[in-house]
Chains A and B, each alone.
Chain A
Amino acid sequence: MSNNEPGFSTLAIHAGAQPDPTTGARATPIYQTSSYVFEDTDHAAALFGLKAFGNIYTRIGNPTQAVLEERIAALEGGTAALATASGHAAQLLVFHSIMQPGCNFIAANKLYGGSINQFGHAFKNFDWHVRWSDPADIASIETQIDDKTRGIFIESLANPGGTFVDIAAIAEVAHKHGLPLIVDNTMASPYLLRPIEHGADIVIHSMTKFIGGHGNSMGGIMIDGGTFNWSESGNYPMLSEPRPEYGGIVLHETFGNFAFAIACRVLGLRDLGPAIAPFNAFLLLTGVETLPLRMQRHCDNALEVATWLKDHAKVDWVSYSGLPGDDNHQLMKTYSPKGAGAVFTFGLKGGFDAGVKFVEGLELFSHLANIGDTRSLVIHPASTTHRQLSPEQQIAAGAGPDVVRLSIGIEDVSDIIGDLQQALDKV
């Protein structure tokens, strides 16, 4: 192609993919293989020693997965990416590359409940310590940074609250203290918002959600912004020190601005093992080709539904940053002018009991623990995704007892509203 930068929709279809070099197959083939034949022992040694490009074993990389990685890296404006079995696996590999035992990181308290569990419980076993902060209160982040802090983690658009975060302001604090900013961009998707453009150094996704978009495959990914200097402080020895795993290679000096993604692959994925299945990579790739179309429709439908709900007599409140009166509307207009996403919360005047009755009365909406499907979805977070949290944590995360979360699908909006109407009638 010419040297003009291709647009987002072109990248969503083409980035990373070329016809298969031997067969000419145009769709990306599913390389359903565990391993790859070496030409000779020297070739094998070069591959194992990170001296040649190529596939060795699907726990470390796979050609179908690689197309997906490059595509998402291109959509996010990153230098490289690493796909994993789930969003949680991507988070694990990112933190494995920046943390040492005894270190801490700052995380927003408005996160997907599963991430709050992973950081607060599972990571404690590695002696990695999360410090919670309010992403709307920059001081609550900055005052917790000390010489053992290794990063800051936020969601660009928080699940389930549906609130945008001032990424640039938090990036400034992170960089002032020599820390990378890690942004979970699952809820917004790169169609709405590209965190690297606002100062993020690493982006992660649960591709299970909007990137795949069809609710059929688990997958996660980390994207390297290529922006962070891993050697400056000496605090990131996985990148800046000779690695005994590879005979003394220093990853940052060897791989430059995509060294972080390489570290997540060759130190994290290789040794911890959460590889994505090639078939899932294929389904997610097929899904992402229509991301721009789907995401706009999700947003348009969600705005119409939120507007309708706000005026309903049985509805107490609606929290959707796409609504002009919403507290978060200004940030939404700055960070995500094309739309406010598909996921938002609301409360019924009848509180918890009305919420339960409402959820059980829906017929088109599916009651399940996911977001970002073509189908419209509903859940009561306090009894499900955010159940493990204390009542205070639930409220801080935007998942109090009266909260109902919707993920608006791409069906006809009249049918979506019709289903909500009939379920509200029964309350």
Chain B
Amino acid sequence: MHQDSYSDNFIAGILRSVKTIAMIGASPKDVRPSNIVMKYLIAKGFKVAPVNPGHAGKEIQGQMTYASLADIPWHIDMVDVFRGSDALPGIVDEILALKDRPDVLWAQLTVFHAEAGQRAEDAGLKVVMNRCPKIEYGRLSGEIRWSGVNSRIISSRKPVAQRGFQALGIRPQSK
């Protein structure tokens, strides 16, 4: 059964390869965690499609919102879930029914469903649950250190600076 444990290399690999994300449960309210994470991921260069039936046809953080995954007219690399754990089995059904399947299923902090995660993994998806991509990006890039957070990264290598002020990126895969 799927374990709540991922290596830094596994997470970094996902954050390096993914370019487009569908965010299920994205909120238009700018103080909700989903909205904050979406804003951050966009700033880091990801293309994000909010999925929220109650807000479909309107924008969140400047991005068009869709009612369901199937409505998104472009390829999604990763589905990021901001819903309760009990919604995960249904979301996995939805993903597996797509003609153009994503490569990654990601479920936010506190969102975990071992059986649903295992099913997605068996179908060939990479699965991360009970994690936040903003926190993981901040941790692996080093940005989260400015908040006094224990990144658990020990390295004598220079962090990777991005354009602009106070912006770090994830180190490219070493050759």
| Chain A interface residues toward B at CB < 8 A | 1, 3, 6, 10-11, 14-16, 18-22, 24, 36-39, 43, 46, 49-55, 61, 63, 65-67, 69-70, 73-74, 78-83, 242, 246-250, 253-254, 256, 258, 261-262, 265
B164 → chain A, closest Cβ, in Å? 5
Shortest Cβ distance from residue B110 to the other chain A in the assembled complex, whole angstroms: 8
User: Contact between B165 and A37 (Cβ–Cβ < 8 Å)?
Assistant: yes
Given that A53-B147, A69-B148, A254-B33 are known contacts, is A46 also in contact with B161, CB under 8 Å in the complex?
Answer: no
Of the candidates B36, B39, B148, B166, the one whose C-beta lies within 8 Å of that of A83 is B148
Measured in the bound complex, the distance between the Cα atoms of B150 and A261 in whole Å is 11
For window 43-83 of B, CB contacts with A under 8 Å fall at: 43
Give how many B residues have a beta carbon under 8 Å from the other chain's beta carbons: 39
Set A46, A81, A247, A254: member contacting B148, Cβ < 8 A: A81
B145, B153, B168 pick with most chain A CB within 10 angstroms: B145
Q: How far is the CA of A80 from the CA of B144 in the complex (A)?
A: 10
Known contacts A73-B148, A261-B149; A51/B36 CB under 8 A: yes
Q: Mark B88-123, 1 if CB is under 8 A from A, else 0.
A: 000000000000000000000110000000000000
Contact A70/B150 with A51-B36, A53-B166 known, Cβ cut-off 8 Å? yes
Which residues does chain B contribute within 8 Å of A39, judged by CB atoms? Answer: 164-166
* Distance A18 CA – B6 CA, assembled complex (angstroms): 23
B9, B138, B165: the one contacting A36 at CB < 8 Å is B165
- For residue B7, which residue of chain A has the nearest CB? A3
B145 A21 Cβ-Cβ under 8 A = no
Q: Assess whether B161 is in contact with A66, with CB atoms less than 8 Å apart.
A: no
Q: In the complex the two chains form, what is the Cα distance from A83 to B147 in whole Å? A: 11
Contact, CB under 8 Å: B146 / A53: yes
- Min CB–CB distance B113 → chain A (angstroms): 18
Shortest beta-carbon contacts, A-B, top 4? A69-B148, A54-B166, A73-B150, A53-B143
**Chain A: CB-nearest residue to B33:** A254
Which residues in chain B, 140-161, are within 8 Å of chain A measured between CB atoms? 142-161
Task: List 29 A-B residue pairs with CB atoms under 8 Å apart, sorted by A's residue number.
Answer: A18-B142, A21-B159, A21-B160, A21-B168, A22-B161, A24-B158, A37-B165, A43-B164, A43-B165, A51-B40, A54-B146, A54-B166, A61-B146, A65-B148, A66-B145, A69-B148, A70-B148, A70-B149, A73-B148, A74-B150, A78-B150, A79-B150, A80-B150, A249-B31, A256-B110, A256-B135, A258-B149, A261-B148, A261-B149
